[in-house]
Structure 1
């Protein structure tokens, strides 16, 4: 069974994003940058999962983490659950959620 807890992080973050934007407007296009990076990261997870199954060249974990850190992590969360990819590798999960926290803090407090 897929975990609902990681998926809950996406709407919670979206609500915080909207609240923060109402308090003090984000720079123009910030929402669309997050959306574009999220879609990109979800596609990259799908490609990496397919490559893993076929024994082909893989996307480095570092690249997955960097795109997530830049704002694509919501797409990463969804893709991890949908494709059941990178969900059991504890070291990756710890690094992934650390990038989520860093991105959220930077976006919600410093921008």
Structure 2
């Protein structure tokens, strides 16, 4: 659980940094980096950051890829829950 807290506490500021860079016309954080953070457990932070900062909410295919990651994570969590029941 501490690892998930750590990755989510890193994911949120990365989304904020990307938003700031976009507004300033600077070099952006690659979408693949943001999706990788979500994949390794930062998807709750990614969803929160999208909402808080209104960032990457309509961007495709980013949004679809993020929701596929979340669906896979939910499926794994359910599968693990069933396996340990």
8 Å Cα contact 1:69-1:102 kept in structure 2:
no
TM-score (norm 1): 0.67
Among 56, 64, 68, the residue aligned to 1:94? 64
1:82 aligns with 2:52: yes
Question: Structure 2, unaligned stretches of length 5 or more?
Answer: none
SS for the counterpart of 1:90 is coil
1:105 Cα deviation from its structure 2 partner: 2.4
8 Å Cα contact 1:70-1:103 kept in structure 2:
no
- RMSD in angstroms over aligned alpha carbons? 1.5
Question: Structure 1, unaligned stretches of length 5 or more?
Answer: 1-30
1:32 Cα deviation from its structure 2 partner: 1.4
| Residue-pair matches, total | 81
1:57 aligns with 2:27: yes
